Chains A and B, each alone.
Chain A
Amino acid sequence: MGSNKSLSRRVFLKAAGGVVGASGALAVGSNLLRSLLQENDGPVYLRTSQEEEIISTVCLLCPSGCGMLGRVADGNLVKLEGNPMHPINLGALCPKGQAAPELLYNPDRLTGPLKKIGSRDSGEWEPITWDDAIRVVAGKLTQLRENGQPERAAILYGETRGQMRQFLERFMASIGSPNVISHDSLNIEAAKLGTLFTQGIYDLPVYDLENSNYILSFGANLLEAGRTPQRMVSGHSYLRQGRAVRGKVILIDPRQGITGGKADEWIPIKPGTDAALALGIAHVIIRTGRFDTDFVHNYSFGFDDFVGEDRTLHKGFKSYVLENYDPERVEMITGVPATTITRIAGEFSGNPPAIAVLPGKGGLLNGNLNGMSAAMAILSLNALVGSLETPGGVLTQRYVTCPDWPEMPNDDVAERGRQQERADGAGTLFPLGNHAYQAVADRVLDGYPIEALFLYDANPIYEAPGGGRFKDAFEKIPFIVSFATFLDESANYADLILPEPTFLERWQDDYIEGLGYPGVGLRQPVVEPLFDTMNTGDFLIRVTKEIGGSVSKAFPWDNYKSLLQERLSNIGTGWETLQELGVWLIPGYHFSRRGSERWVDEVVGKDRKKSPRDGRFDFYSRELYCLLEEKNDDLLAAMGAGVSGDELFLPHYEAVVYQGDEKEFPFVLNVVTLMSLGPYSYAANMPSLQEISGMVVGERWGSWMEMNDEYAHKLGFHDKDQVWIESPFGRLQTKLRLVKGMREDIVNIPHNQGHTAIGRWAKDRGVNGLEILNPASEPFTGLASYTNTRVKVYKA
């Protein structure tokens, strides 16, 4: 035994030795080989930049205004992160913000001021010095003022929150022109008017998503686009998983999109019938008595029938809705089953706090009073369940207080000019309107004399429905100045291009919007401006100095930065802190008790001009009544009012007047804004955003048109066919993509493709759906017509 054991052990040792020896040989061989080739593994370490700074700023690739922290390494901006201090984005950044270095370092940027040589569309430019540019602009404005026609100067502007909007208004006022025309009529104006005519606030409602239990979104694409998508996304996240009870989200929209995909329920509704659905829901709530009686009886107006000052009996909201909007009828209008309407009404009123959310761009701009009325109807739902100014309900945006602007010096020329009719017809041609951006083209073509036009963050040729008209209109304007950073479609027609640096290189402030409480973010140059560009604020201040006299007295600042420092001196912190943090806010929303002084001053009725500021929510719009009082029914009908009498002043549904016959043009065209490219033209020239543009359908770098897949198959279309989309206003060719989540009677084209200018990545890529939209303006409000164009689709 023993010997056997030792023998076997010896054998084993030998074997083991062999194995070890062999492995050793292998290892040695391999190492030898490697050392021969000098490929030793050494330490692995991180090599990085020499110097680094973190500089805060605020994004401007959508209206959210997210705080950003720029990582500047060896003088280059290499990365942006969300500013965790900023309440809108809480440290997050969407793809557009992340891709912003591509905007800063975009090779297609304008590198200095340019002057057109030759004709309008020659496309030939020569450089001009800033001093010359200032002299030319000042000379033009002085000439207008000397001729006593300062109103012939006009400015079209886009996204300008904070001081810039007031600065532009003050600039034009000092010159003497009422023509400071915002692009709001292309998107949020309908919602703002709806809020004004009910709640009496000329602003967008703020939604306390975090504390709400039930979100009923009427076409609001909360998670992709809108006024403040990033704030909505943050709120949505908290609503879903940030608390004990998961909030419910319902999307009512003909298109499902990402918001509908994420929602608990998507209700495909016949386009343009949101008002009917809202009133149908109101009908059920009223009929079942599940409304907030305290609010309705004590803090609203026009719920019940009433006898007015004219001593006639007016119909109230309650009887109007009960008579006209029973779910069965609403089903006929909207295509939403009556049972669903009843159920939604029950859920909405039974799960307080609940919010009905207004759409931003698109959904409300139907081309007659329908859109604004839908906004009123949706807001009435909030009022009905008492969600106004309650936690989890609808809040009112407050702003930081700034010192008063210095008094405008006396100036008769300017005074007279300011009294003139606006170039866009707001307040005159459009009795309810405040801005009618897209109408400027028609007005100019009709003979309104504009002699100097400034385009600040405005590209009307691209972004207005049927924007091609602006080309003709521009022919009639002798002097056009664009402040564009890129040579965009409209800048192409300008006489002077005075490029503003990108938002990453300039001083600007931005109000925090969407949370209710006041706050301000600060844009500051993250890197020194790359090119010979000038902040438009600085430029205009220097123009005022060149003009001199009362104009220059109105602007006692050296530059725009010092103006900002003065304007933001009362926000509660010093400039250095603001510069370092990039944001300052007074957090915590202070709710006003119903009927309290603050309620009356700030929450309900503040912005009413003609009707009582009595803290009552108007189910029956007294403001509207006052504004349209002088116009008789015939006149109103001639203007295109679909209803008359009391119905006009109550939230009501009127059928959308579509352009294009339903038989010939079976689809409603819907131009949708995506999270990837966003609303701003220049984002289309950011290659990374182009590369992710069509995630939902797997498209990149281009346009497509979405159609319901089953219906398309019925019509004989196939996925990825090339198709023509033709409206009464023109036609476009693009790729057809079939999707499940949409109604049969609409087609969608994503926004921000089909540019004819801007740069190498944006140009000649895809189609611009806005080109074939109805160019007309809504006759009462001057809103653009976004969703009342019918199209037909056929194979290319």
Chain B
Amino acid sequence: MTKWSMVIDLDKCVACQGCSMACRFENNTPVVSPDEAALGRSIFWNDVFPLRSEEESAIASGQAKFLTRPCMHCEDPPCTKVCPVGATYQDTEGIVRQNYTRCIGCRLCTVACPYGVRYFNWYEPTWEESLERHLTPDQIEGRAVSEGPSIRPKGVVEKCTFCVHRLFKERDRAAAEEREFRTEDFVPACVQTCTAKSRYFGDLDNPNSTVSQLAQSRRAFRLLEEAGTHPKIIYLHEG
């Protein structure tokens, strides 16, 4: 079974926020108004931020000034545990997904997530006038299912999905081309756009994959390891 995982090399990362933007345009997260943004209601599935000096030592042994943070796709996610309706769940390949159709907006998952990666639609997402034209047409659908870049109704929680629609797309493509799907076919948008090439993506179950190799690095660490969530985002600190 594939276990999707991402390695982020903080020595390379330059906090450019290309990942945040790529994510926005890949996943149709809305722009919120300045007032809303000031309230902290901006939606960036992948967020980039400076570490305060007192945390640098706590988080990366003092060896990182900035952090870029997608969903950790924990192996033992606290969010899926508490969801009362199974709107958020971990799929068989370890991706923590979110079904907007089922979500009731109780926000228990958002408070349960220690990484703050889950976002809530305080209002109906909107795009002003012609900006709507750039929305990605990719939508994950099914009976009573809508996931990924599908336009969210107000009042539901959304989050990073490792661009799972790209995985669907690549599987469909492989099938159309009558070949086996290879793990290399699929990368999330943030990995593809990373200006510093600081992101690696692949199968953690395959000991020969880049991510597995890098996970062995002496620079490797994970966020809040003490929380017991076993994140599948593996950071490499500087040095």
Contact = CB atoms under 8 A, between A and B. Distances in A.
Binding between chains A and B = yes
Interface of A: 39-49, 73-74, 76-82, 89-99, 101-102, 104-107, 223-224, 230, 233-234, 236-237, 240-241, 246, 258, 261-262, 530, 675-676, 687-692, 695-696, 698, 700-702, 740, 760, 765
Contacts of B131: 102, 105-107, 687
A223 B143 contact: no
B130 A105 contact: yes
Given A46-B172, A107-B130, A696-B50, A41 B144 contact: yes
8 contacts: A49-B137, A79-B136, A92-B195, A101-B133, A107-B130, A224-B16, A258-B14, A692-B48
A70 B93 CA distance: 30
Contacts of B21: 94-96, 98-99, 688-689, 692
A95 B138 contact: no
B17 A676 contact: yes
B130 A106 contact: yes
A323 to B, nearest CB: 40
Contacts, number: 194
Contact of B135 (A78, A80, A261): A78
A506 B132 CA distance: 22
Contacts of B11: 240-241, 246
A234 B49 CA distance: 21
A45 B168 contact: yes
B17 A258 contact: no
Nearest to B48: A695
B145 A79 contact: no
Contacts of B226: none
Interface stretch (B32-40, B71-79, B104-112, B176-184): B32-40
B16 A94 contact: yes
B172 to A, nearest CB: 6
Top 7 nearest A-B pairs by Cβ distance?
Answer: A42-B143, A101-B134, A98-B21, A44-B142, A701-B34, A46-B168, A95-B21
Given A45-B142, A79-B26, A107-B129, A74 B137 contact: yes
Interface residues of B, number: 59
B139 A48 contact: yes
Contact of A700 (B25, B37, B136, B138): B37
A237 B18 CA distance: 15
Contact of A692 (B20, B34, B144, B195): B20
A658 B130 CA distance: 47
Contact of B18 (A47, A93, A690): A93
B119 interface: no
B120 to A, nearest CB: 17
A240 B134 CA distance: 36
Contacts of A691: 31-32, 37, 42
A45 B17 contact: no
Interface of B, helix, strand, loop or mixed by DSSP: mixed
B15 A695 contact: yes
Interface string B43-61: 0100011100100000000
A520 to B, nearest CB: 22
Interface in B149-205: 165, 168-169, 172, 189, 192-198
Interface in B218-239: 239
| A76, A98, A701, A760: most-surrounded residue (chain B CB, <10 A) | A98
A223 B16 contact: yes
Contact of B197 (A48, A237, A687, A690): A237
Contacts of B239: 246
A304 to B, nearest CB: 42
A226 to B, nearest CB: 13
A233 B198 CA distance: 11
B169 to A, nearest CB: 6
A182 to B, nearest CB: 27
B139 A230 contact: no
B163 to A, nearest CB: 11
B196 A234 contact: yes
A41 B143 contact: yes
A223 B14 contact: yes
B12 A42 contact: no
A610 B142 CA distance: 75
B195 A44 contact: no
Contact of B128 (A76, A107, A233, A696): A107
A462 to B, nearest CB: 20
A46 B130 contact: no
Contacts of B147: 44
B130 to A, nearest CB: 4
B142 A42 contact: yes
A183 to B, nearest CB: 24
